[in-house]
Amino acid sequence: MFIADCHVHSCFSSDSNEKPENIIITCIDKGFKYVYFTDHHDTDFPINPENPDMDFQLDFDAYFSKLSDLKEQYKNKIEIRIGVEQGICPEVADKVSKLSDSYPFDFIIGSSHLTNLSIENGDPYYPSFYEGRTNVEAYREYFKTEAENVTLTDGFDIYGHIDYPIRYCPDKTFKFNFKDYSDIIEIFFKRLIEKGKGIEINTAGISKIGYAHPHIDILKMYKELGGEIITVGSDAHSTENIGFGFDIAYKLLKELDFNYYSVYKDRKAEFIPL
Ligand SMILES: [Zn+2]
Ligand SMILES: [Zn+2]
């Protein structure tokens, strides 16, 4: 099984209340070799007045201070690696690059939580994202923005939950059909692979949409295009989800003939045989 859960949120994220100490203890109990913290930071996130606490702004200095202390405290029990999940959209790409260079991260997930800095039509979480256009058009815009983001910043190592809108599409009968997006996803992957960046298997999808992100057809294309870097993460926001669905993710990678998965240290990929 995997030696780490590479996508975990603590109370440093606006949408989690989990204490970092509990995460460390859970990872030790589960027999992981490393603990990864990948808390949210979404630069210039548009705050919804109905939900002002969800600002997704990370206090980087407090984060590094706390996690560095814990790293020292637990050094004989488990290695802590400090990551972040940075939200990327074209308007903030330069700021993402700067932040990524300003702190000694081990690992940076770049994620599209927004296609632009607008609550009305930039956030796939809200039904308004899908209004006034077909679901296919909405998803295509999401993938197009991801493909664009890759050209705008190097401030990330792997791209997170690459088919994220599937989680939130209000039309629950709408089925994802890879062919409707394969042209854009191919461009996205070619750019990503050329830059030496990877993707993740995000097992949070299993409980939300019935399978891990990304859809198996997307993973197959990644493999066909020569993509080799894959991290595995639960996107847990509380300890009970740490390592969730890892047996399913492991089987999937074996089934698709991937030979390795990756973990990161000092923003460099380490390849672990499957
Ligand atoms: Zn995310
Ligand atoms: Zn996350």
The closest ligand to the CA of 124 turns out to be 1
Contact by Cβ (8 Å): 197, 188: no
pLDDT tens digits along 48-66: 999 999 999 999 999 999 9
C-alpha 192 – ligand 1 centre gap (Å)? 18
Residue in the structure block whose two tokens are 């209000």 = 170
Å from CA of 65 to ligand 2 middle = 21
Cα of 6 from ligand 1 centre, angstroms: 12
Q: Is 8 inside a domain boundary?
A: no
**pLDDT tens for residues 224-244?**
999 999 999 999 999 999 999
- Which ligand has the minimum distance to the alpha carbon of residue 236? 2
Distance CA 108, CA 83 (A): 5
Beta bridge partners of 159: 110, 199
Q: Does residue 172 fall inside a structural domain?
A: yes
Asked whether residue 5 is assigned to any structural domain, the reply reads no
Q: Separation of 7 CA from ligand 2 center, angstroms?
A: 6
CA of 44 to the centre of ligand 2 (A): 17
Ligand nearest, relative to CA of residue 42: 1
Ligand closest to the CA atom of residue 112: 1
CA–centroid distance, 86 to ligand 1, in Å, is 8
Distance 9 CA to ligand 2 centre (A): 6
Using the mean position of ligand 1's atoms as its centre, give its distance from the Cα of residue 31 in Å: 25
CA of 158 to the centre of ligand 2 (A): 12
Q: What is the pLDDT of residue 17?
A: 98
Tell me, what CATH number does 34's domain have?
3.20.20.140
Residues with C-beta atoms within 5 A of ion ligand 2: 85, 235
Give the pLDDT of residue 154.
98
What digits encode the pLDDT tens for the residues 90-128?
Answer: 999 999 999 999 999 999 999 999 999 998 899 999 999
Cα of 226 vs centre of ligand 1, distance in Å, is 25
Under the banding of pLDDT at 50, 70 and 90, the label for residue 215 is: very high
pLDDT at 150: 98
| Within a domain: 3 | no
CA atoms of 128 and 123, how far apart (whole Å) = 8
The predicted pLDDT at position 186 comes to 98
Q: Which pLDDT value is given to residue 244?
A: 98
Give domain status of residue 10, yes or no. Answer: no
13 occurs within a structural domain: no
Distance from the alpha carbon of residue 76 to the mean position of ligand 1, in angstroms: 31
Report the predicted TM-score, pTM, of the whole model to 2 decimal places. 0.98
**Residues within 5 Å of ion ligand 1, judged at the Cβ atom:** 111
Closest-approaching ligand to the CA atom of 204: 2
**In the prediction, which pLDDT does 122 show?**
97
Would you say residue 177 lies in a domain? yes
Give residue 259's pLDDT. Answer: 97
Overall average pLDDT of the 264-269 stretch = 98
Model confidence at 176, pLDDT cuts 50, 70, 90, reads very high
pLDDT for 5: 98
Domain that holds residue 236: 20-273
**Segment 4-39, tens digit of pLDDT:** 999 999 999 999 999 999 999 999 999 999 999 999
Report, as an integer, the average pLDDT of 198-213.
96
SS (H, E, C) the chain: CCCCCCCECCCCCCCCCCCHHHHHHHHHHCCCCEEEEEEEEECCCCCCCCCCCCCCCCCHHHHHHHHHHHHHHCCCCCEEEEEEEEECCHHHHHHHHHHHHHCCCCEEEEECCCCCCCCCCCCCCCHHHCCCCCHHHHHHHHHHHHHHHHHHCCCCCEECCCCHHHHCCCCCCCCCCHHHCHHHHHHHHHHHHHCCCEEEEECHHHHHHCCCECCHHHHHHHHHCCCCCEEEECCECCHHHCCCCHHHHHHHHHHCCCCEEEEEECCEEEEEEC
The pLDDT tens digits of the residues spanning 128-170 come to 999 999 999 999 999 999 999 999 999 999 999 999 999 999 9
pLDDT of residue 62: 98
Structural domain tally of the chain?
A: 1
What separation in Å is there between the alpha carbon of 191 and the centre of ligand 2? 23
- In angstroms, what is the span from residue 40 Cα to ligand 2's centroid? 7
- Written as six digits, the tokens of 47 are 């705050």
- From the CA of 7, the nearest ligand is 2
Give the ligand whose atoms come closest to the C-alpha of residue 36.
2
What pLDDT score does 99 carry? 98
Asked if residue 168 belongs to a domain, the reply is yes
